[in-house]
Chains A and B, each alone.
Chain A
Amino acid sequence: NAGVMQNPRHLVRRRGQEARLRCSPMKGHSHVYWYRQLPEEGLKFMVYLQKENIIDESGMPKERFSAEFPKEGPSILRIQQVVRGDSAAYFCASSPTGDAGELFFGEGSRLTVL
């Protein structure tokens, strides 16, 4: 029973490039949450998605950031024209229901912007 799978685990981009982070939720889970964690800080909510729908994107910057969770395939967090301040660990979590109870987290994708 595979857990939440995130890839890549580590990603290095130069300023101005695009970063794509992928998340496959646990089997049977249709609710996906993305969080960002800066060094020595807590997890900051970015976006909550269900299959083919964005439910709450209140934590996501209005520009350069987008997320999707298509009917088939993983959820993707896309960051366009990356800047140094985007360097962080990005965690995906999934849950079987939308009541935001226990969240099952992946190991994270660590983005470094040079």
Chain B
Amino acid sequence: EDQVTQSPEALRLQEGESSSLNCSYTVSGLRGLFWYRQDPGKGPEFLFTLYSAGEEKEKERLKATLTKKESFLHITAPKPEDSATYLCAVNGVGGFKTIFGAGTRLFVKA
């Protein structure tokens, strides 16, 4: 069964303090690994799709990378507005559903 585990559950950073969020996954034939951002009381907002090991995507202060078993979301010099829950998800062959991890809650203090 496809599974996604994210760590840490919560991460507190000072503004400007770079760090990484981890997403470990098991899936039968990866079709895509996704990162979403979710603000309190809102629906998830799409950030990135990664398809194969070695692939990297960047957007402003965020960079997502992918290996055969893990994905990392690197946050460079974060700002308070980056505070949110970051969700990792996978979609595998043979299924139509995208499976989400529990998320990492990021708090960035000014």
Contacts and interface: CB of A to CB of B under 8 A. Distances in A.
Interface of A: 4, 33, 35, 40-45, 48, 55-56, 58-59, 91, 93, 98-108
A56 B44 contact: no
A4 to B, nearest CB: 8
Summarize B's interface: helix, strand, loop or mixed. strand
Interface stretch (B56-64, B65-73, B100-108): B100-108
B49 interface: yes
B66 to A, nearest CB: 15
Contacts, number: 63
Interface string B23-49: 000000001101010000111111001
Contacts of B32: 100-101
Q: Kindly state the interface size class of chain B when it binds its partner.
A: 20 to 34
B54 interface: no
Interface of B: 4, 31-32, 34, 36, 41-46, 49, 87, 89, 91, 95-103
Contacts of B97: 33, 45, 48, 56, 58-59, 100
Contact of B34 (A41, A102, A104, A106): A102
Nearest to B42: A107
A106 B101 contact: no
Nearest to A42: B102
